[in-house]
């Protein structure tokens, strides 16, 4: 790919291991409530997470409310009574959040890749659907924040992926045209296809794949830059 000057990344599922942290955090949280950690219980948890986060992304509910709705959808079905008031639900969710945050981690190859890109002179950005405080804190606590030039959260920029305006904002803040940016993410629709619709190049990453090259190899190959 000629004339690429910048690389943008999704955060959760691409640089940051949200699923791993959420699995560990949810397991510990459910155990603290006396709920056996089972495939069924974890399936309910992640189904509710996906459904309610999408409702927030669509502007149907607030960010705190999507957290409360997750608890309402999961805990009574597992035999655990929940508080009737929002304050009690928020305190209960905080118990999960503490376990989740204690399990935060970047994928092992993330920081080496960002450093390799910086040495090669690429501008580096993150574009993520989420709140400013939480997403920036993820980057800071995993050591990734100092390795990127720009962080665009949907809360700050006022638009979410897959809206092309989110990608246009990222490229503008990186100081490049969309055609000069490669965007890397784990979602075909929200990352790869959306980036391409905005004029960027898109690269799909699948951390669950058992075989194949690592993320650094995939990204540098896509850039046509394999210098040691």
Instruction: Tell me what pLDDT residue 145 has.
Output: 98
Cα-based angle 73, 98, 75 (whole degrees, multiple of 5) = 20
Instruction: Tell me what pLDDT residue 213 has.
Output: 84
Instruction: Tell me what pLDDT residue 2 has.
Output: 52
| Topology adopted by domain 19-102 | DNA polymerase; domain 1 (1.10.150)
> Token digits for 166?
């989110």
> Token digits for 10?
């999704």
Instruction: Determine contact, residues 117/124, Cβ cutoff 8 Å.
Output: yes
Residue 24 to residue 83: CA distance in whole angstroms: 24
Whole-model pTM: value is: 0.90
> Token digits for 132?
């400013």
Residue 222 to residue 171: CA distance in whole angstroms: 18
| Topology adopted by domain 6-17+105-223 | Rossmann fold (3.40.50)
Instruction: Tell me what pLDDT residue 103 has.
Output: 96
Instruction: Tell me what pLDDT residue 228 has.
Output: 43
Chunked mean pLDDT (size 10), the chain, 228 residues: 87 96 96 94 94 92 95 94 94 96 96 97 97 97 98 96 97 97 97 98 90 89 73
> How is the chain split into domains, by residue range?
6-17+105-223, 19-102
């Amino acid at each position: 790919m000629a004339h690429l000057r910048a690389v943008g990344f999704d955060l959760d599922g691409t640089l940051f291991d949200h699923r791993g942290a959420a699995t560990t955090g949810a397991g510990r949280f459910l155990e603290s409530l006396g709920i056996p950690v089972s495939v069924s219980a974890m399936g309910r948890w992640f189904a509710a997470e996906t459904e309610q986060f999408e409702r927030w992304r669509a502007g149907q509910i607030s960010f705190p409310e999507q957290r409360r709705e997750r608890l309402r959808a999961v805990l009574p079905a597992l035999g655990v009574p929940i508080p009737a008031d929002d304050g009690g639900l928020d305190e209960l969710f905080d118990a999960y959040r503490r376990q989740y945050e204690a399990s935060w981690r970047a994928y092992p190859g993330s920081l080496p890749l960002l450093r390799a890109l910086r040495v090669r002179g690429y501008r580096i950005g993150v574009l993520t659907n989420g709140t400013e405080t939480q997403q920036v804190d993820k980057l800071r606590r995993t050591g990734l924040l100092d390795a990127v030039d720009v962080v665009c959260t949907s809360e700050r920029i006022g638009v979410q992926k897959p809206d092309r305006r989110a990608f246009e904002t990222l490229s503008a803040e990186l100081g490049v045209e969309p055609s000069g940016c490669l965007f890397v993410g784990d979602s075909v629709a929200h990352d790869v296809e959306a980036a391409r619709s905005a004029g960027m190049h898109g690269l799909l990453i699948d951390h669950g794949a058992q075989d194949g090259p690592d993320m650094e190899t995939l990204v540098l190959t896509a850039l046509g830059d394999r210098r040691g």
